[in-house]
Amino acid sequence: MKYILMMNTMRAGAGVPAWPKADLQAHIAFMLNLNRDLRDSGELVQAEGLSFPDQARQVRAGKDGVPITDGVFPESKEFLAGFWIVDVDSPDRAYAIAARISAAPGPGGAPLNMPIEVRPIMSAPPPEML
């Protein structure tokens, strides 16, 4: 069964994390190891990191097919930082993976305990069938 695991980031303009270098490296290494393990177990379908929210655009339909691209996001908006799609044998396994992501180390090596949203997904039908 497939799940999407979503990790949010700080708001736009809050800047990049200002942690000590060793802590940053530990965080990066943690994520690399996680992905490697998920690949080895055959559970990883897709893992993506998104660019910083500074680059985000809110787009609405405009007139005559020209999109409006300067929309302003709400102050309180949380931005998606990255997501994983996993194919696992049970919901508990999906939660366990999410828990591991959540516990990624932050400043001082302490687990961040980020909230990771876990949602079941069905495979989207192939485009030919739409």
Partner 1 sequence: MKYILLMSSTKAGVSGYRTWAQSDRDTHMQTLGAIVKGLVETGEFVATQPLAEPTEAKVVRGENNGLPVTDGVFPEAKEFLLGYWIVDVDSPERAYAIAGRISAAPGPGGIPTNMPIEVRRFA
Partner 2 sequence: MTEAASTSPWDPASEHLLRELAPQVLGVIARRFRDFPSAEDAVQEALLAAFRQWPREGVPENPRGWLIHVASRRMTDMVRSEIARRDRETVATPEDEPAVEPVDKMEAEIEAEMDPEDTLILLFMCCHPALSPSSAIALTLRAVGGLTTAEIANAFLVPEATMAQRISRAKQSIRASGVPFRAPAPQERGERLPAVLRVLYLIFSEGYASSIGATLQRLDLAREAIRLTRSTRALLPQDAEVAGLLALMLLTDARRRARTGSDGELIPLDQQDRSLWDQAEIAEGTALLTLALSKGTVGLYQLQAAIAAVHDEAARPEDTDWPQILALYELLLRVAPGPMVTLNHAIAVAMVHGPASGLDRLQALDGDERLSGHYRLSAVRAHLFEMLGDFQQAIHHYRTAAAGTTSLPEQNYLIAQAARLDDAHKEPPNRQAPSES
Give the interface with partner 2 as residue ranges (CB under 8 A). 15-25, 28-29, 32, 39, 49, 51-52, 54-55, 107-108, 127
108 binds, among partner 2, partner 1, none (CB under 5 to 8 A by kind): partner 2
Cross-strand pairs, 38: none
Choose from partner 1, partner 2, none: what does 99 bind? Cβ within 5-8 Å by kind. partner 1
Question: Which of 1, 37, 48, 108 touches partner 1 by CB under 8 A?
Answer: 48
Q: Which long-range contacts (CB under 8 A, 24 or more apart) does 29-36 make?
A: 30/104, 30/105, 31/104, 34/100, 34/101, 34/104
Question: What is the C-alpha to C-alpha distance for residues 61 and 21, in angstroms, rounded to an integer?
Answer: 43
Q: Which of 15, 17, 109, 115 binds partner 1 (CB under 8 A)?
A: 115
CA of residue 113 relative to chain centroid, distance: 14
Backbone φ, ψ for residue 99 (5° rounding): -65, -40
Binding site for partner 1 (CB under 8 A): 4, 6, 46, 48-53, 55-62, 65-69, 71, 73, 77-80, 85, 91, 95-96, 98-100, 102-103, 111, 113-121, 124, 127-128, 130
